[in-house]
Amino acid sequence: IEHSVLCGSKNFPVKDPFIELAKGSLNTFLNAMTYPDKTLYPVASTNDQDFKNLMHVYMDAVFYPNIYQRKEIFEQEGWHYEIEKESGQLTYNGVVYNEMKGAFSSPESQLNRLNQNSLFPDTTYGVESGGDPDFIPDLSYEEFLEFHRTYYHPSNSYIYLYGAIDFTERLEWLDEEYLSKFDYFEVDSEIEMQNSFEAVKEVTAFYSLGKEENPQDNTYLSKNYVIGNSLDKKLGLTFQILSYVLLDAPGAPVKQALLDAGIGKDILGYYEDELLQPIFSITAKNSEESKKEQFTGVIQDTLTKLVNEGLDEKSLQAAINFYEFRYREADFGRFPKGLMYGLRVMSSWLHDNDQPFLHLKDNAGYAFLKEQIGTGYYETMIQKYLLDNTHATLVTLMPKTGLNAKKEEKLKEKLSAYKAGLSREEIRKMVEETKHLKNYQETPSTKEELERIPMITREDIRKKTQPLYNKELMVDDVKVLHHKVYTNGIAYLRIFFDLRDIPQELLPYTSLLSMVLGYMDTQNYSYLALSNEINIQTGGILANVKSFSRKGSTDKYYPVFELSTKVLYNKLPEAFKLMEEMLYRTVL
């Protein structure tokens, strides 16, 4: 349905409004995403008229899609029988059907699905929201429409607005153009809680391996735990920190213990809190089924030792500062801040109408976590939610050579048998339907349909540009460029070293140097202690090699070595000391 509603609507009947809209838009985000428990249709723009255009097209697509008038949309985006001539081979085809076949062929994607599905066999999280390709062809057009009719109703929608806009005007427009056209009715879409297991469950599955690939050391072992409820704010932040300390930090104890034991060539882990019941997962990649008991034993023994001896307090401080800094900075790269806030809002709002902003208020949570260091709190959480938790699964995903080929052959036989049971008239009808769908797909939207898509004009674009604050100074014979802008108390520092005097053949080694700085011992810190200190004092210190083109030239570049950091103003001295330590006292 996510794909299908964006294939034309009542007021914008063009076949691909998504593409056409982008041609005349200044959008900063335009997409749609399906999650295990929701589908989102977010748009964003810094231009007011453009934002209104995006809202109009997307609201129309969601509430008045052309799927009711054009069955071809369902066939194109979902699935259909395809046969070019009466003597030809019968196959399945469809955009999402083919996409999901690709997704199911990836072992990592398959493992992530197994981890989640195994923990929630009785809820919506126990099925594949994108569609299992083995079952997509079971979906009828009538069932498809009924699903949209039920769940894509304003009564079941969550509408989120953010930014410097006239909220009253936008809300009145939403009501007048769309919401008031529908009567309210109760939709049963509540996400149910999965009952806890009485004992840890084991799941074994297989993924396809190519004939040329070696099945040895190609098994995935994964231990997965359900961690309470996502509406428990303190618990969520606690496991955000524990996940970093146990699995992600340099020298993380659980990861290191598994690597030292030779369980796998890589150890992965994550804490997923987008679900009603969050997941904590530990995975050994490139392992063997025979190491399954050793895998769980090492995890159990390491966690028990940490509970008895206590977690490293510096590691906890570093983890809390790392995430608190990221929370305060709210830098989401190329993604608009309002969009990312909206995603966090949905993580709680979907499950409790009274708590839409729960996951946007983290200050008190981080203060609480700092107070718990050294009190035994974190060790108690490990004992309760990891060591004593039976709502857990052990997933083993093993390679099987040629599995996909066997499944394709089985599908081919199934469709051949189905075709053999059809009359000649039924086969002729399928051929005609295939030709009709191809003709529909190849016929472009009309000029009149294309002109219905709203475009911004030159008059809609502000002539005033964002000011650039760039002041050049000389400090102790060093050129300094200062940008005076609001940064919420965070200083962004970039130091560049000219590499033009480095011989050409040695330049690749500067890139190698950038990769090891901060990841090796120094004269005053071990690698682990340095990492902790960097995360305690700053928002991170990074080394990199870059090149800048010379002004006015297309073939001359300046190579530079960059050391950068982001840090609270009052911790600038500590940041400079750590950068100096990395540059002058790294033990190479």
Paired strand residues for 81 = 92
Q: Which of 336, 13, 4 minimizes the C-alpha distance to 144?
A: 4
Distance CA 317, CA 321 (A): 6
Q: Please list, in sequence order, all residues whose beta carbon lies within 8 angstroms of the beta carbon of residue 439, skipping any fewer than 6 positions away.
A: none
Using alpha carbons only, what angle is made at residue 334 by residues 331 and 336, rounded to the nearest 5 degrees?
A: 70
φ, ψ at 373 (rounded to 5°)? -65, 130
Residue 431 C-beta-side C-alpha neighbours within 13 Å: 14
The yes-or-no answer on residue 176 being catalytic is no
Q: Which of 308, 294, 284 minimizes the C-alpha distance to 382?
A: 308
What DSSP character marks residue 248? Answer: I
Marked catalytic residue, from 20, 77, 82, 581:
77
Q: Please list, in sequence order, all residues whose beta carbon lies within 8 angstroms of the beta carbon of residue 575, skipping any fewer than 6 positions away.
A: 491, 493, 537, 538, 541, 565, 567
Check if the beta carbon of residue 583 is closer than 8 Å to that of residue 518. no
Three-class secondary structure assignment of 61-106: HHHCEHHHCCHHHHHHHCCEEECCCCCCCCEEECHHHHHHHHHHCC
Distance CA 136, CA 130 (A): 9
DSSP string, 137-202: GG--HHHHHHHHHHHSSGGG------SSS-HHHHHHHHHHHTGGGS-------PPPPPPPPSS-EE
Q: What is the CA radius of gyration of the chain?
A: 28
Q: Which of 95, 166, 169 minimizes the C-alpha distance to 133?
A: 95
**Burial class (CB within 10 angstroms; exposed 0-12, middle 13-18, buried 19+) of 510:** middle
The yes-or-no answer on residue 2 being catalytic is yes
- CA torsion sign for 480, 485, 487, 489 is positive
Distance CA 290, CA 287 (A): 9
Query: Which structure tokens are listed for 337?
Result: 């801040």
Q: Which residues are catalytic?
A: 2, 77
